[in-house]
Amino acid sequence: MKTFNRAMTYTFLSIAAIVSIFPFLWMIVSVTNKSVDVTQGRLLPGTHLITNLKTLFETVEIVPALINSTIIAVISTFLTLLLASLAGYGFEMFRSKGKDIVFTILLLSMMIPFAAIMVPLYRMFGSVSDTLPLFGIDTLGAVILPTATTAFFIFFFRQNTKMFPKDLVEAGRIDGLSELGVFFRIYVPTMKTTYAAAAIITFMNSWNNYLWPLVILQSPEKRTIPLLISNLGSSYSPDYGVIMSAIVIATLPTALVFFLMQKHFVAGMMGSVKG
Contacting another protein within 172-191 (CB under 8 A)? 179, 183
Cα distance between residue 143 and residue 51, in whole Å = 34
Dihedral (CA of 55, 60, 63, 69) sign: negative
Is 233 in contact with 78 (CB distance < 8 Å)? no
Angle at 62 between CA 58 and CA 67, to 5 degrees: 130
Q: In the complex, what is the shortest distance from the CB of residue 211 to another protein, in angstroms, rounded to a whole number?
A: 5
Q: In the complex, what is the shortest distance from the CB of residue 176 to another protein, in angstroms, rounded to a whole number?
A: 12
Q: Is the Cβ of residue 47 or residue 235 nearer to another protein in the bound state?
A: 235
Binding mask 207-226 for another protein (x = CB under 8 A): xx-xx--xx---------xx
* 1 touches another protein (CB under 8 A): no
| Residues ≥6 apart with Cβ < 8 Å to 31 | 49, 52, 53, 241, 244, 245, 248
Picking from 255, 260, 262, 253, the residue whose alpha carbon sits closest to that of residue 73 is 253
**Phi, psi for 33 (deg, rounded to 5):** -115, 160
Q: In the complex, what is the shortest distance from the CB of residue 250 to another protein, in angstroms, rounded to a whole number?
A: 6
Cα distance between residue 31 and residue 240, in whole Å = 8
Q: What is the per-residue DSSP string for 169-214?
A: HHHHHHTT--HHHIIIIIIHHHTHHHHHHHHHHHHHHHHH--HHHH
Site for another protein in 36-55 (CB under 8 A): 39, 41
- Count interface residues toward another protein (CB under 8 A): 83
Cα distance between residue 49 and residue 193, in whole Å = 38
Q: In the complex, what is the shortest distance from the CB of residue 63 to another protein, in angstroms, rounded to a whole number?
A: 18
Q: Is the Cβ of residue 96 or residue 131 nearer to another protein in the bound state?
A: 96
Which of the ranges 44-52, 54-62, 116-124, 189-197 carries the binding residues for another protein, by CB under 8 A? 116-124
Q: Is the Cβ of residue 67 or residue 270 nearer to another protein in the bound state?
A: 270
Q: Is the Cβ of residue 40 or residue 47 nearer to another protein in the bound state?
A: 40
* 151 touches another protein (CB under 8 A): yes
* Contact with another protein (CB under 8 A) among 7, 119, 132, 260: 119
* 12 touches another protein (CB under 8 A): yes
Which of the ranges 45-53, 70-78, 119-127, 132-140 carries the binding residues for another protein, by CB under 8 A? 119-127
Site for another protein in 73-102 (CB under 8 A): 83-84, 86-87, 89-91, 93-96, 99, 102
Site for another protein in 246-275 (CB under 8 A): 247, 250-251, 254-255, 257-258, 262, 266, 269-270, 272-273
Picking from 217, 218, 219, 226, the residue whose alpha carbon sits closest to that of residue 246 is 226
Torsion, Cα of 173, 178, 181, 183 (10° steps)? 70
